[in-house]
Amino acid sequence: MTLRPLGGNIIVEPEVKEAKTASGIYLADAGEKRQGQGKVIAVGPGKTLENGTRQSVDVKIGDTIVFKQYAPDEVKVENKTYLVLSADDVMAIIE
Q: Is the pLDDT confidence value at 16 over 90?
A: no
Cα separation, 25 vs 85, in Å, equals 34
| Position 17 confidence tier, pLDDT thresholds 50, 70, 90 | low
Mean pLDDT across the stretch 3-8? Answer: 91
Give the residue extent of every domain in the chain.
9-94
Rounded to 5°, the CA angle 85-60-42 comes to: 50
- Could you please state the CATH topology (level 3) that the domain comprising 9-94 is classified under: 10 Kd Chaperonin, Protein Cpn10; Chain O (2.30.33)
Cα separation, 19 vs 94, in Å, equals 22
Rg (CA), the chain: 15
Helix (H, G, I), strand (E, B) or coil at 78: coil
pLDDT tens by residue, 33-90:
556 899 999 999 999 999 999 999 999 999 999 998 888 889 999 989 999 999 999 9
Cα separation, 86 vs 95, in Å, equals 20
Instruction: Give this prediction's pTM.
Output: 0.77
| φ, ψ for residue 25, nearest 5 deg | -85, 130
